Structure 1
Amino acid sequence: MNALITADELAALEHVTLLDVRSRLGGPPGVQFYREGHLPGARYCDLEQDLSSAAGPAGRHPLPDTAAFQESMRRLGVSRGRPVVAYDDAGSTIAARIWWTLRYFGFDDVRVLDGGLQAWADSGRPVTKEEPGPAEPGDFVASPGHLPILDADEAAALARRGVLLDARAGERYRGEVEPIDPRAGHVPGAVSAPTTENLTPRGTFLPAAELRARFEALGVADGVETGAYCGSGVTAAHELLALHLAGLPGALYVGSWSNWSADPGRPVETG
């Protein structure tokens, strides 16, 4: 199943669970953007409340508790036999988190609207402030462990034997700036791979062949163990979506730099 869907394909799709997952990391609540205008029929899914558990030593966006995630998705109408489509307005960086999280918990029929809200608007289709009523409760059963994840020790080991991609902006990888986390730099041995380079200027994903060429230039290939991390495990899911589109598997270091940098015993590289 294609992990992406175009605006035209979405408009023709019936009986879909449509989720608006817009958010601003460190900014105002994403529901404000939803209330200003969203795709007709979309319901708001919150990164902090629905797709993460509370911030702490494990990181700023740890995986949600299994029971809590199941409850959230059922509230939003996620059910077997009905596809989920998620969108944002940030190059699919937030939408990729729910794409990855649903699949990790055993729900595969999920796609990301390529180009997000802008692609929908560019197609000439309307947005609305009208909010749909409560969804018919879904029957989704959350079962964790369907995708590979890494903890800090496993990420360190993978960086030595395979390829560990750092999805943050290059200046954060190099340690020139660090606006959020305790220390600047990157996991020793990690390779800089900003998620912005997965996208066209229109905010859609590059074609699969171009994505594959990009990752191969970074050392990723069939049979090479690959993982990804970012600041807190959100944009790294975007990296894994891009890898998936390129036909390359990868594991997510969920805690990412927010987990690594909080441990003073962990070494840090810069440059």
Structure 2
Amino acid sequence: MTHDNTPNDERIDGTESDAGARDGTESGPDPASTRRGLLRAAAGATVAGAASTAGCLGVSTPADVAAQNEVTGNVAHFVGPSWLADNRDDVVVLDARDAERFRTERIYGARRVPFDAITSRESTDAGLIPDAEAIAAAFGEVGVSPDDDVLVYGASVGSRVTRVAFALAAVGHAGSIRVLNGGLSGWNGRLGTGSRDRVSPAEYEPDPAESTRVTREWLADRVGTFNDDGPGLVDVRVAEAYVGAAGADALDPDNDRHGHLPGAIGVHWVGNVSGRRLTEPSRLVQLYEAEAELDRESTVVVYGGENVDPTSTWLTLRAIGFSDVRLYDGGFAEWANVDGDRGRYPVETATNVVIETDGSVGEDGGGGDFSCTG
């Protein structure tokens, strides 16, 4: 059961207003934004029967855009706008975007995640791991309880969104964790603006899930076995960073060494995303099983430069049925700059396997606001 403390239709000091009344002045709502809000409302909160408009050919309505972001096939964790419309009262909705975008426009009743907190790490003898106490406190601050069913959205299904999903899993979240395919642009239901709602903080005691992550020492113990007779290992950075190409802009100047962990294969995480949506699941299966030759029944570890981007691959692999996917939260930055005997933490630059991807994050031609001219 969820415990959504967002007030229904309540406006507190202008903190949550309908998208049809954006300017906040006494003179009333802006006509253009009011029209936009009315058109969104007319389109309905579900995608059944996408509307056609008399006299308008080739128009993309909010319902059309929502329909393009529905999730089909045997895919876990990612859901479309119609799922959210049907379950809005039963889930806590978390916004992974920055504060400015959140204030400008958001799903009505959504709560913004303090992103810096949910990426925080703590140092252990085995290496960096997610800071469960800090992460749990951040979720509790916005009223999330451990047993709440949660849906996360952003501008797309990019790595900020998947980092929130990972952070929930890392602290042992008991409720379900879902991501909205298409992000905010795919949602045709009610919108809000302004500062966040006043919500009551929740008690969130973390129950860290070690099965979600590995440490530097865990990896060091298995060097020489990756993608052979040991775990699968995926480097999600661009190819230039993977091979340590001299002079490449992709190289982090703060790293003492460049290249990748021995045996890792390179699959840039952007291949998981097509515009604002999850890449077609059949293409993802082809990418990771046929081309990368990963075993869905074996342990697969993903890492990047830091701990945000690789969560896209972490969630994508779980979504298409990989049974044991883990994140190296320390990332290549920790591995490359480790103190002490670096022979235990080797770096290689010779190309092992780099799989080409053709994904993109951003505009996808999916259509914008409803409009009809002429």
Q: Judging by fraction of residues, say which structure has more strand.
A: 2
Paired residues for 1:23-34 under 5 Å: 30-34=98-102
1:102 to 157, 164, 168: 168
Larger-Rg structure: 2
1:167 partnered with 2:246: no
Within 5 A, what are the aligned runs for 1:120-159? Answer: 120=187, 124-125=188-189, 127-145=191-209, 147-156=211-220, 157=222, 159=226
Identity level (%): 23
Gaps of at least 5 residues in structure 2 are 1-74, 352-374
Gaps of 5+ in 1: 23-29
Residue 227 of structure 1 aligns to a residue whose secondary structure is strand
Tell me by how many angstroms 1:135 deviates: 1.5
Residue 103 of structure 2 is matched in structure 1 by 35
Give distance in 1, aligned partners of 2:307 and 2:164. Answer: 11
Alignment-mate amino acid for residue 203 of structure 1: R
Map 1:1-271 → 2, pairs under 5 A: 2-13=76-87, 14-22=89-97, 30-53=98-121, 62-64=129-131, 66-79=132-145, 82-107=148-173, 108-120=175-187, 124-125=188-189, 127-145=191-209, 147-156=211-220, 157=222, 159=226, 161-176=230-245, 177-179=250-252, 181-182=254-255, 183-200=257-274, 202-216=275-289, 217-248=291-322, 249-263=324-338, 265=342, 266-270=345-349, 271=351
Query: Structure 1 residue 69: deviation in Å?
Result: 2.5
Number of residue-to-residue matches in the alignment: 257
* Cα separation, 2, equivalents of 1:172 and 1:87: 29
Normalized against structure 1, the TM-score is what?
0.83
Deviation at 1:82, TM superposition (A): 3.3
**After the TM superposition, which segments of 4 or more aligned residues of structure 1 sit over 6 Å from their partners?**
54-57
SS in 2 for 1:250: strand
Distance apart, 1:254 and its partner CA: 0.8
Alpha-carbon displacement from aligned partner over 1:206-235 (angstroms, at most 9, x marks no partner): 343332221112121134331100111212
Tell me by how many angstroms 1:91 deviates: 3.2
| TM-score, normalised relative to structure 2 | 0.62
